[in-house]
Amino acid sequence: MGMRKVAIVGAGITKFVRRAQETGKELSWQASKMALDSCGITLDDVDMVTLGTAPDAFDGVHMKGEYLADGAGAHRKPYMRHYVGGGTGVFSPIHGWMHVASGMADICLVVAEEKMSSCHPHPQGAFLTIFDHTTEQPLKPTLIWIFALEMNRYMQTYGISKADIARVSVKNKHNALDHPSAQVAEEITVEDVLASETLCWPVNRLDISPASDGAAAVVLASERVARRLTDKPIWIDGVGMSIDSAYWATRDLSYPRYVETAARMAYDMAGIKEPAKEIHIAEPYDPFDYKELHHMEGLMLCPRGEAARLTAEGYTARDGNLPICPSGGALGVGNPIAATGLMKVIEIFLQLRGEAGKRQVPGKPTCGLAQAWGDLMQMGTVIVLRS
Amino acid sequence: MAITEKMTKTTTPTHWEGDIPVRFVYTYGLAGETFFRAIKDKGTFLATRCDACDVTFLPPKIYCDRCFEELDKFVDVGTIGHVDTFTVTFKNMDGSDKAKPRILAMIRIDGTDGGIIHYLEGISIEEVALGLPVKAIFKPKGQRKGGIEDIIGFGPVE
């Protein structure tokens, strides 16, 4: 398509916590500085900056992109904020990729930030008004409603139990024990998940990721610059995005068709014909445990309805055939929305470099993907990386 | 309705009212914690300085936004500055007249590249001018809570 090759050459990430003393700007600076230092460049070397962050209502700052700009390293540089809800964090490097692939920038700093603790008493409050004001808001919906309806539909369609799904939470919280940024890493059992309080059946508390504060950043470079900066560039070989209608009641909730569409776009670009074989490692978005399974199927990493069985067999464990969320995911590391998606991209970056430390998966993976999902349960964002 | 027509009866369509019920809890941040603690406990302003970029940040930052280096040394820059620009507010939020017009100014604190937006106190509209020296007026120590409202305003330098 006449576009330049783009690599990730550096990454940084803060701790994910329930309430950070740092402001959103300070969190953004910590992650961005870490990313620049990791590849030995300074802010002077950065041509453009792009920042991903979810609703302004989380941080409680309207025009949050503008507010965060100087913390994200955008001082007197071309700068854009992007936002596709929960899909933002994986859209972030796609947005940066556009700047570099097009030739506009040789180095683009990509930052993702969220400070959800500002929203009081809980960020769920900000979700109350995302629903249609005529047909849904009068019913006083919460965000968990939709997940509960979708999870139930998914379970019934494929005959999957709550215990089958709980294994994802157990796996991810375990994996997160090895992640230095982790907020809710712990050894738990399927019984713990099933015994945690029911919030909105079939969703229990331990089926859900927490609200978090945190930031992450990556440095993207054109091929020429990337080869000068590092011996281990990780190439962005495919990107995909797809959005469905916000009127979620009109679609089949058992299968995220829009994730499949986004994945197909990324696979076509990366020349991937058989994703289940060619993708060695993946970080699908897991704000709820069943969503990891739902997304694995939408990404065509396994046949529909099979993800739960594969999880039970250990296929998706860190030492399994297809490690899924070896970082610990949103369920274990935490879920500062935009920063979570970029954390997942960073995990694939580190794994493909062989620099994931205690989290390193065996078998020297060379191709991985990260995926996020959001807006009003309608947005799929996918990125395919290769070493 | 053509684009040139003005809708005069906005209540004509059947409608209902709603709100977005969110509240917030903010933190000072690492720099803000130090800055406001100095206001509360000592009645003075702290700034951070980047020697490489020759910039003194007030309010302070823990990083230089030009070069991104960490700034961890806070310096006391005192509470005197000068009016960099000002405006006079005549109306309340609801459009009603203020009992007394107030002067809102951007005060450049001496020895810094930064400033504080605040009201002028004890300075009339006739007296105010760009470059006028001013000094922060703080609430009594016992009433200070660590916030921008610990400053009553900026007044004349005796």
Name residue A382's amino acid: V
* B23, closest residue in chain A (CA to CA): A120
Cβ distance of B68 and A73 shorter than 8 Å: yes
Residue A249's pLDDT is what? 80
Burial A286-308 (b: 16+ CB within 10 A, else e): bbbbbbbbbbbbbbbbbeebbbb
**Subunit contact A21:B30, Cβ cutoff 8 A:** yes
Minimum mean pLDDT among A95-104, A139-148, B68-77, B105-114: which range? A139-148
Q: Which residues of B touch A215 (CB under 8 A)?
A: none
**pTM exceeds 0.90, yes or no:** yes
- Mark yes or no for CB contact A137/B18 under 8 Å: yes
Enumerate the residues of chain B whose CB falls inside 8 A of the CB of residue A55.
none
Largest CA distance in chain B: 63
Q: Read off the pLDDT of each residue in B56-82 and give the average, rounded to a whole number.
A: 97
Sequence spans of domains, chain B: 29-156
Distance between CA A96 and CA A55 in Å, rounded?
Answer: 20
pLDDT > 60? residue B19: yes
Q: Is the pLDDT of residue B146 over 80?
A: yes
Looking up tokens 């209540």 gives B11
pLDDT attached to residue B11? 66
Asked if B28 and A21 come within 8 Å (Cβ–Cβ), the reply is yes
ipTM: 0.86
pLDDT over 70 at B117, yes or no = yes
H or E stretch covering B29: helix B29-42
Q: What is the pLDDT of residues A250-277, one digit of tens each?
A: 889 999 999 999 999 999 999 999 999 9
The residues of chain A scoring below 70 in pLDDT are 1
Span A169-191, pLDDT tens digits? 999 999 999 999 999 999 999 99
Best of A18, A19, A26 to substitute, by most chain B Cβ atoms within 10 angstroms, is A26
Which residues in chain B have their CB less than 8 angstroms from residue A29's CB? 62-63, 68
Q: List chain B residues with CB under 8 Å of A19.
A: 25, 27
State the pLDDT at residue A2: 80
> Would you state the pLDDT for residue A343?
98
Angle, vertex CA A382, rays to CA A248 and CA A65, nearest 5: 80
A60 Cα to chain B: minimum distance (Å): 6
Strand order of the sheet with strand A107-115? Answer: A79-82, A48-52, A107-115, A213-222, A6-13, A234-243, A379-386, A367-374, A281-283
The structural architecture, per CATH, of the domain B29-156 is Beta Barrel (2.40)
Interchain CB contact of A60 with B (< 8 Å): yes
CATH topology (fold) of A6-120+210-386: Peroxisomal Thiolase; Chain A, domain 1 (3.40.47)
Distance (Å) from the C-alpha of residue B32 to the closest C-alpha of chain A?
9
- Calculate how close chain A gets to B59, using CA atoms only, in Å: 14
Shortest alpha-carbon distance between residue B40 and chain A (Å): 18
Are A58 and A337 in contact by the 8 Å Cβ rule? The answer is yes
Closest Cα in chain B to A36 = B68
For residues A5 and B112, give the distance between their C-alpha atoms in angstroms, rounded to a whole number.
Answer: 44
Residue B44 binned pLDDT confidence (cut-offs 50, 70, 90): very high
From B22, B61, B66, residue closest to A126, measured CB to CB: B22
CA distance B48 to B31: 9
Per CB-CB distance under 8 Å, the chain A contacts of B26 are: 60, 118
* Mean pLDDT, residues B49-78: 96
- All residues of chain A having their beta carbon less than 8 Å from the beta carbon of residue B114 are none
Closest CA to B152 of B92, B142, B140: B140
Cβ atoms of B122 and B156 closer than 8 Å: yes
B→A interface, C-beta within 8 Å: 18, 20-33, 61-63, 65-68, 70
Kindly indicate the confidence band of residue B10, based on its pLDDT and cuts at 50, 70 and 90.
low
> How many angstroms separate the CA of residue A131 from the nearest CA in chain B?
11
Specify the pLDDT at position A1.
57
Closest by Cα among A115, A22, A30 to B68: A30
Share of chain A above pLDDT 70, in %: 100
The answer to whether the CB atoms of A44 and B67 lie below 8 A apart is yes
Q: Are strands B151-156 and B133-138 parallel, antiparallel or unpaired?
A: antiparallel
Q: Report the run of H or E that residue A221 belongs to, with start and end.
A: strand A213-222
A339/A335 Cα distance (integer angstroms): 8
Residue A120, pLDDT score:
86
Q: Are B74 and B46 in contact (CB under 8 A)?
A: yes
Place of tokens 């006079």: B88
What is the reported pLDDT for B7? 64
Of A21, A70, A75, the CB nearest to B29: A21
CA distance B14 to B11: 7
Distance CA A374, CA A85 (A): 5
Q: Please give the pLDDT value at position A280.
A: 98
Tokens of A129: 């008004």
Q: How many CA atoms lie within 13 A of A223 on its CB side?
A: 8
Q: Does A141 touch chain B (CB under 8 A)?
A: no
Q: Residue B2 has what pLDDT?
A: 62
Give CA torsion, residues A325, A328, A330, A332, to 10 deg.
150
| Inter-residue contact A123 to A335 (CB < 8 Å) | no
Taking the C-alpha atoms of residue A39 and residue A106, their distance in angstroms, rounded to an integer, is: 14
Q: Long-range contact list for A312-320, CB < 8 A, 24+ apart?
A: A312/A164, A312/A167, A316/A171, A317/A171, A318/A175, A318/A359, A318/A361, A319/A361, A319/A362
Is residue A134 within 8 angstroms of chain B, CB to CB? no
Which percentage of chain B shows pLDDT scores above 70? 93
To the nearest whole Å, the CA of B35 is away from the closest chain A CA by: 13
Going from N- to C-terminal start, the domains of chain A cover 6-120+210-386
